[in-house]
Amino acid sequence: GEDVEQSLFLSVREGDSSVINCTYTDSSSTYLYWYKQEPGAGLQLLTYIFSNMDMKQDQRLTVLLNKKDKHLSLRIADTQTGDSAIYFCAESDRDSGKTPLVFGKGTRLSVIA
Amino acid sequence: NAGVTQTPKFRILKIGQSMTLQCTQDMNHNYMYWYRQDPGMGLKLIYYSVGAGITDKGEVPNGYNVSRSTTEDFPLRLELAAPSQTSVYFCASSSGRQNTEAFFGQGTRLTVV
């Protein structure tokens, strides 16, 4: 079955860049997502990338996709304390009709002031 | 702007008790999902629905039941609560079209003692 792997923890200093990495196994993944979960809250979509793209930039967020290696990364520039949260990588294969998202275990980002 | 609403937010059950976790969305989304999130783990799909009257099992359906009599509501039923069902439960919905966002509720924290 599909599998999505992430490192569990990342700690950075305020103002530095954060890079959160994710690998996935399903070669038919058509969309890859990054969700953010703040304490006590549900998940909120940050950004997504279609599998025929290799990069997407949205303000402080940059998503890089290496489809050959099935590797996805999220870079947060100028990381702020408000970025402290759990970040989930997720994938879906909507073209085959498999609509539910498959999530990684989440990376807990801690930002040190 | 209600989005996805889950009730209750917290609940403590005794082993063997039953309960229904309520989920309703006001976005006219066809697709609805139930996930559970265990500490340090990602989200595991319990059940999902692609429209009223249609439900399907996810990765971890045992011990749960669902129904989808209307587009808006997707309740999750626990018939005989077990300690292994202690978790945070998230309901989500999406329009089902390609690349669209899944919207999550705030979660229900369930403890079975």
B101/A contact by beta carbon, under 8 A: yes
Question: Burial level of B28, CB count in 10 A (0-12/13-18/19+)?
Answer: exposed
Residue labelled with tokens 């209600």? B2
Task: Judge whether B21 and B75 are in contact, CB under 8 Å.
Answer: yes
Task: Judge whether B76 and B67 are in contact, CB under 8 Å.
Answer: no
User: Which one of B99, B100, B106, B109 would you mutate to disrupt binding with A, by most A Cβ within 10 Å of its Cβ?
Assistant: B99
Closest approach of B111 to chain A, Cα-based (Å): 15
Cβ neighbour number for residue A32 with a 10 Å cutoff:
25
Closest approach of A28 to chain B, Cα-based (Å): 14
Question: How do the pLDDT tens digits run along chain B, 113 residues long?
Answer: 679 999 999 999 999 999 999 999 999 999 999 999 998 778 899 999 989 999 999 989 999 999 999 999 999 999 999 999 999 999 999 887 655 678 899 999 999 99
B47/A contact by beta carbon, under 8 A: no
